[in-house]
Amino acid sequence: MGYKHARVKTDRNTTALLCNGCGITLNEGSKHEDREHYCTMCMSGNCKAKFKNGKPGGGCA
């Protein structure tokens, strides 16, 4: 399934839903809603792991 808004990473038989802000894994499974998803830290504006040069910064804790 193609996603326009959600960031989804496929690895073998599993897909991971990633935060649109920092790239951490939010959920694993085979189906995800095609909309932007953000972790709690990105939603609060306190995430230190924002994408830098288009690459994930490591993730929030």
* pLDDT tens per residue, range 32-52: 899 999 999 999 988 877 654
Over pLDDT 90: what percentage of the chain? 49
Which two three-digit tokens encode residue 53?
């040069």
> What whole-number distance in Å separates Cα of residue 43 and Cα of residue 37?
9
Residues 17, 24: Cα–Cα separation, whole Å: 8
Tell me the pTM: 0.73
Q: Lowest-pLDDT range, 9-13, 30-34, 39-43, 56-60?
A: 56-60
Which 8-state DSSP code applies to residue 25? E
Query: Among all chains, which residue has been given the structure tokens 């972790």?
Result: 39
